Chain A
Amino acid sequence: DADVTQTPRNRITKTGKRIMLECSQTKGHDRMYWYRQDPGLGLRLIYYSFDVKDINKGEISDGYSVSRQAQAKFSLSLESAIPNQTALYFCATRATGQGGTEAFFGQGTRLTVV
């Protein structure tokens, strides 16, 4: 089983619908991140969390919200999806307090808003 699991893997939704992308991890890391990947733009940070009570906005948080239900779970919500939120979304985790530790990524969720 993957250490960082994202569900769903692919999703098509309609404009205006609310959608939630889920991420769970078995690595015991307390840092969790949500990124969005668009062609030519790389990965851009949406939100990140250091623990259940510490959630921070990234560079492109408008139109998104998150919930850290437990150390192992970090969900991303689009309250009212719009077509320009069509993208590949990644969840990632990192270990505590060691800046050199790499991020571990889920397999991504490809979201299409029509």
Chain B
Amino acid sequence: AQTVTQSQPEMSVQEAETVTLSCTYDTSENNYYLFWYKQPPSRQMILVIRQEAYKQQNATENRFSVNFQKAAKSFSLKISDSQLGDTAMYFCAFIDTQGGSEKLVFGKGTKLTVNP
């Protein structure tokens, strides 16, 4: 079974600085997708960024970028120029596209606090 591990339950960063959230996953599949979701206090789940496993280039969305290491099964999220509005729970998620299961599996989350 696929698993997703986020080893940092909580993190904090000063406003305007950079922070990296870690995520590792376990799968025997070759084609799959990885996501980072943000959950602010409003509890809405918001997609931050998406990575396709067959693409070597790391995905980037404005201040958010990933470091995707397929061989190491690692998918970390880097937030640059942190803003107060980045304070939220962040979830790493995985979905495989072979075998038809299409289960979307989440990690346990990292609570990020951005301090002024």
Contact = CB atoms under 8 A, between A and B. Distances in A.
B106 interface: yes
Interface in B93-111: 93, 95-97, 102-109
Contact of B44 (A42, A44, A48, A107): A107
Given A100-B50, A100-B52, A107-B44, A40 B108 contact: yes
Interface residues of B, number: 25
Contacts of A105: 44-45
Nearest to A98: B97
Nearest to A50: B102
B43 A42 contact: no
B33 interface: yes
A103 B52 CA distance: 15
Contacts of A58: 103
Contacts, number: 51
A88 to B, nearest CB: 7
A102 B108 contact: no
A90 B104 CA distance: 13
Contact of B105 (A45, A90, A94, A100): A45
A96 to B, nearest CB: 10
A50 B102 CA distance: 9
Interface in A94-114: 94, 99-100, 102-103, 105, 107-108
A99 B96 contact: yes
A94 B104 contact: yes
A35 B6 CA distance: 18
Interface of B: 6, 9, 31-33, 35, 43-45, 47, 50, 52, 91, 93, 95-97, 102-109
